[in-house]
Chains A and B, each alone.
Chain A
Amino acid sequence: MNLKAIALGLTVSLMSSGAYAACAFENDVPISSLSAGFEAWKSVTDAMAECGNFEAELDQEFRTKQPAAFAANPSLYDIGGVSNGTVTPLLNEGTIRPLDDLIAAHAPDIPDNLKIKIDGQTMAIAMMINTQHMMYRKDVLDEVGLSAPTTWEEVLTASAAIQEADLVDYPLGATMKSGWNLAQEFVNMYSGYGGAFYNDDSTPSVNNDAGVQALEMMKALTAYMDPEYLVSDSTYVQQQFQQGKIAMANLWASRGGAMDDEAESQVVGKVYAAAAPYATAGQPPATTMWWDGMVIAKNISDAEAEAAIKLIAEGLDTEMVTAANDDAIWLVEGYKPSRLAEGAIATVTADPAPASYPSTSQMGLMHTALGNELPAFFTGERDAAATLAAVEAAYITSAKEAGILN
């Protein structure tokens, strides 16, 4: 009886994977990839694997592994999943190849909008955009008679009202885990106040009014958060949402789909998304724009590169998008924005639109300095101005070591 059930299950799964394996060509060159591990990457790499001989490594620590892996000769991976934040070391070290000839010869259908061009050469193929935007529980806000907040001041008001009504454990969630996440929250808020991170001569410029305002606003928001916010990353906030513990969060668009995942979420259909809130009038929404996409290593044979571009084209086809529509804000043809994508699209089309995350060597150093020095402000060891001074000092030390400052 049991054996029979297992055999039946196996047959069904084999049949379904057979039916799913709708690939335009059969891949006979072994190809591997290294990318981040969120849902969208899973969908794309699964679609690529249908062609056979393809091995995908999904790892959230990809950003630290990728530069060294691609610098090897031959490269340890053929395809890399990158974002605008992580492509810089690959470009700087020249370990990825221009794709124009490959696209012209083997994948002419890739639309121009997806080509990431550096000085006219296509260096990466984008597949989706990502941004942090306001996700909120519509039912909770309805209960207190408010609409989705459009500014951070309104977020504070709404949080106070929700706390007053005692509808959820904590009105707000935020990805403020010390290190990269906390720095990213500051980058968003500071951009919203119109701040610039460094001057033309690479000297830092965060110790100013915009910086202090951004920190004060973030501190005010933490009053409505789980007190353990300094260990809370994207997955933690996503779970808080799914378990109905929080009502609002400025969270990654790529996490939206999980809200309607019936297997995990207790709030299916209740979470809506709006544009990222404004920090101050006349500036773009307080967020940054990101794209995720794929690159091909330089240190591999031409045959492998050819197979890689064909696989990429296969992974980014309409069939994949139809099957995984809600996993991301896809740039691929055939994407139908769902309820949870409205916020990201409203953010992108805001006027003025938020800037792309500035991926430069200086910004990398600044991001690290922010991630290491900001926690002291939130634990109350330092005030805002002293913290920003410490950020600048840390930046200068590492910039000198990196040779960017003299």
Chain B
Amino acid sequence: MNDSWNELWSDIADKLRVEPERLAALSDADKETIVDDFLSSNKDEIIADIMNLWEEYLDKVAPAQSSDTEEPDVDPPAPDSIQLKPQPEAVPETVPVIKQQSPPDIPTLPMQTPITGELMLRDKQLILPNGKVSQPYLVDCDAIRLQTNISDIHFLDLEKVGLKYDRPTRRITGIPQAAGEFTVVMRYRKPNKQDYSSRKITLIINPDPRSLWNPIDTPRSIEYYKEDSDKLFVAVEAEAEAKKDMAAASRRGRSHAQEGRPRDDDFALHYEDGWYIMVVADGAGSARYSRKGSEIACRKIVENCREQLALSREEFERAITAVHEEASDAANKAAGDILYSILGAAAFKAVAAIKEEAQLKGAALKDYATTLLAAICRKFSFGWFVGSFWVGDGGMGIYCRETNYLKVLGEPDGGEFAGQTRFLTMPEIIEPKELYNRLRIHIVPDFTALILMTDGVTDPKFETDANLKRIEKWHALWDDLAGKNDDGARVDFTDNNRESAPQLLRWLDFWSRGNHDDRTIAILF
């Protein structure tokens, strides 16, 4: 019996008005029975009482937490208005008997949902649910008592795990501090026996998976070395008609980092003469040189688009204006054909460049397999033009928050089993018809952002292809980017914010269970 238990006991003895002479005659076991009965028959009142006690206690140890501290004489607020109760049920049942002295140990209500469960008997083995480091543990041991008729349960060695057994509530509570397999001993009395019996129980505390990811820098000596992360901001001054800026960031996935393998994703941004060029690419993890494939693809798309735009820019801009003015199939076809000669041809030439590299290396084209999402845009007096090309998974869309507008610029290539994607380097992709079908043209009055992402971002943030078409998911992504997340990461999409690239890189480090692929995102805003 410890101090806190004794305090609880004296409170209850008071309430029950147990006469002093009777009090003295009671054994510990009797007291426990009385407390049990009392607790179970007066639960609601007790909760209210305990809330009061708890509150007084809080006032005592942590006056700063109360806004009433300047007027210590006012009545404590009624239990209903107590501020600290995101989990009002849990507070009275678990907390009041733990009367710690030091303020830091005040059970600040756990942010993480506790692991709950009960001590069970299975195949004559006692079983405790597995815990997890840093996650509150709340396990009921009452069922076993009722089931087996044993009494006076308590545990040895729980403290070494960071847990304790709370006798009045018959619960194991606490927050485990270390991972491993621990042996704890349960002590109890069988019916009508004075001696204690003991049973060993294995208690498994799982590590927090986050603590198991240990990044290893990619060795600089590997072929086609690439930095483990990259970022870029392209400011576009208001000199021209356009003034949206571009930011991109790319980060190696935890699964690659764990093994010291390189980042396979890549991106490229370019602005020239009013034209924005944006590319992201995800090198296939199974292809040994895919990091080079994605790099060449991004670089070549920019190079080839620049070259071709230099030749056909005016013609293209006239065609786009015609699309806006005429909105006819013929105008669309004319603009589409020019886009094909710019972006389609750029994709084709990118494959040729990869092929050349593969031959130099004596490797196969498929060793450089990569996805590709590319967009070229320009501001016109009547709105924004976006032309795009997309092979493989990931996502690309024009998003306007104010008008609830979303245009996904193609279809992600997921097979029957998502994840079986297609790559730029597959021979069928550069067939003219196939290339053409993957092009999109679009004119919108304005937008909040044009976003290109590899699947390292779309998998955790959108989960399914169907969700990629849901505006709510894009709203959520935009809120998330703006700071609505657990990591406190925030990207400021204000004009000329050079910090947006490092902010984006930091944001990319978000945590998502089971999603640890390379992540790349490029945003025009």
- Report if A and B associate in a common complex: no
Residues in A lying within 8 Å of B, measured CB to CB: none
Residues in B lying within 8 Å of A, measured CB to CB: none
